[in-house]
Amino acid sequence: MIELDSTQRVARAREVRHDVVAQLTSGIHGTFRVLFAIQWVAAVALAWQTALPGDSRVAFTLILGGMLCVPPLLFARAAPFAWWSRHFIAVCQMAWSTLFMWLLEGRPEAQFHMFVSLAFLAFYRDRKVLMTATIAGITYPILRILMLPDSFTIGASAWWRIFDHSVWVVAEAGILMVAVRQSLKTVRNFADLIADLQLANESAAADMGARTAELRRSREQYRLIAETTRAIPFELDLAHGRFTYVGPQAEQMLGIPEETWKQAGFLDQLLPREREGNARRELDECVPGTFETLCSVVTRDDRVVELRWTVSCEVVDDMRFLRGLMIDVTEARRMVRELAQGQKLESVGRIAAGVAHEINTSVQFISDSVRFVRHALKDVPHALADYRALAAGVLSGKEVVAAAKKAHDTDEAADVDYFLKNAPDALDRALEGIGRVGSIVRSMTEFAHPDARNMADVDLNRAIKTTLNMARNEYKSVAEVETDFGDIPPVHCHAGDINQVVLNLLLNAAHAIEEVVDGTSKKGRITVRTRVIGGFVEISITDTGDGIPDAVRGRIFEPFVTTKEVGRGTGQGLALSRGLVVEKLKGSLHFETETGTGTTFFIRLPVSDTATMALSSDKESTNKQAAA
């Protein structure tokens, strides 16, 4: 709805009324030009018909008629919109009526002429003109009687006829004034309506002009931005797999000519389904609206360029058209991967001391066990040599008593029984230590290994075990860890992302418990569970800490928000974890907490498509077996 200024509206309505009245006045002037000419001819003809021999009424009528016709017509041409022009025409027209009354000697048709004159003058829609005409219509008969020679006797009947005539003239004038008033009201309403329409049209035209200019500027800005940046604008006919439009940057950045983009089926060459299955699936399943997808394109010179598509989907005649921008994010993605790897290594750095301690402890009891075996074996060879000498003497038939005594003494000195009893345990401990070191090294390798560019199906239970192994030194002194790993399908993700999130939550749980048990001999408990809920795999990590304070619960996932003391927590762990789980892996991360009892964090991740198909197949097989 267009808002109109009241002052401007009133002024415009006044202008419209003036224009309407001016047009009406010009038209009425033309009508009176014709009417005056007709009346002049009719009056002369009537004077000719009623003239007596020697009568001068024809000449009088001819001269008077010219006086009543020519001046008002000249005035109407010279000053058509002057108020006095209309009044002069009114006076002259009423004079014509008086002339016809004289020529017709007061017959009723002469009275009718005066009434018709008033009706014609009402066309001016000016009550003042009607008033002037009424006064003239009443005055002319009176002047006619007063101008008679003194020899004429004026009876009462003559004055009565003048009175009767005046009453009829005033009555008709009153009726015409009412009609003029209604007509002026109609003109006023019409003018108001026209003024509103004109102002609305002008406002709409101005607004349309401004919007058109703005649209033109926007289109030019878009063209400059779209065609001078490294973002490739495009329009894709999804049904035929061809680009109906692509910006000039496409050839500059990817080396693919424009005519190639517009070939039918080029989409399959640009994004082969076997390589870019996820991106093609998002394109094929898109609905009207906007979305984003990430894919890689091989250029003509065999470079791999990563592109982020920002797409708007539109359906026309049951055919989907995609419009948007392809943005080169190769460098940005490389930096993100390096940053993620750096954060992962930073996490490894946070627990490096604990890992070193774990390795040192394992190496220590490996060293102790090996040292024990080595020390115990020092005298065993002597005892073995004496037993061999005894065996040789027995075989040769020699005296073996002395040899047997010597072997027995050597056996006692070497404490062979103690060695044989404890050596296997020492070697087992050494093997256990070697296994522990190997496990830590493998965990560190898996944890810190850079993820592949594409996601893969990941065994979450194994990833969690790796992270628990890495973080063991952080929690072993303050909490016991319980695990309840369910039979879960793989999840399509990066294993490093899961390791990072689980490590952050484990460290938070250990620190929360440490604040509770610090200064006591008690230990808390960390419980890690995995299970399947619908189409999601859920990981829950529960601690027996003091819970999350009410003041920060609503902001716990915001950057730089932490419940730890200054210098211990940066407030980035949960923010990073939420970004990985929600934004990257399309899952969810939430928590339940109770003051004085503890906190449980829940990670839910969608099951991979292959796992979903397998689960559906197993469920269908189970249903068939149950039905059978």
Q: What is the pTM of this model?
A: 0.43
- Residues paired with 311 in a beta bridge: 291, 324
What residue type is assigned to position 133 of the chain? A
d(CA 285, CA 92): 88
d(CA 541, CA 527): 6
SS3 594: strand
Please check whether residue 113 is in contact with residue 97, taking contact to mean a CB–CB distance below 8 angstroms.
yes
Please check whether residue 459 is in contact with residue 504, taking contact to mean a CB–CB distance below 8 angstroms.
no
Q: What is residue 535's predicted lDDT score, i.e. its pLDDT?
A: 85
SS3 245: strand
CATH number belonging to the domain at 230-328, selected among 3.30.450.20, 3.30.390.30, 3.20.20.80, 3.40.50.300: 3.30.450.20
Contacts of 346 (CB under 8 A, 6+ apart): none
User: CA–CA distance from 305 to each of 30, 294, 298, 328, 422 (Å)?
Assistant: 83, 11, 6, 7, 63
User: CA–CA distance from 605 to each of 58, 453, 536, 579 (Å)?
Assistant: 116, 19, 5, 13
SS3 percent helix, strand, coil of the chain, rounded to 5, is 65, 15, 20
Sign (positive or negative) of CA dihedral 619, 622, 626, 628: positive
d(CA 606, CA 564): 32
Q: What is residue 406's predicted lDDT score, i.e. its pLDDT?
A: 67
Please check whether residue 296 is in contact with residue 308, taking contact to mean a CB–CB distance below 8 angstroms.
no
Q: What is residue 1's predicted lDDT score, i.e. its pLDDT?
A: 43
Averaged pLDDT in 10-residue chunks for the chain of 628 residues: 65 76 78 85 83 75 84 80 83 83 72 80 80 79 61 58 75 81 79 78 82 83 69 88 88 89 91 87 87 88 89 85 88 73 63 63 70 68 67 67 68 64 71 72 61 74 85 84 91 81 86 87 91 91 89 74 56 73 85 90 84 54 52
- Residues paired with 590 in a beta bridge: 602
Q: What is residue 599's predicted lDDT score, i.e. its pLDDT?
A: 92
What does R_g of the chain's alpha carbons equal in angstroms? 56
456-616, which class in CATH?
alpha beta
Q: What is residue 253's predicted lDDT score, i.e. its pLDDT?
A: 86
Q: What is residue 351's predicted lDDT score, i.e. its pLDDT?
A: 61
Query: Where in the chain are the domains?
Result: 6-200, 230-328, 337-443, 456-616
Sign (positive or negative) of CA dihedral 248, 250, 251, 252: positive
Q: What is residue 614's predicted lDDT score, i.e. its pLDDT?
A: 54
Please check whether residue 450 is in contact with residue 337, taking contact to mean a CB–CB distance below 8 angstroms.
yes
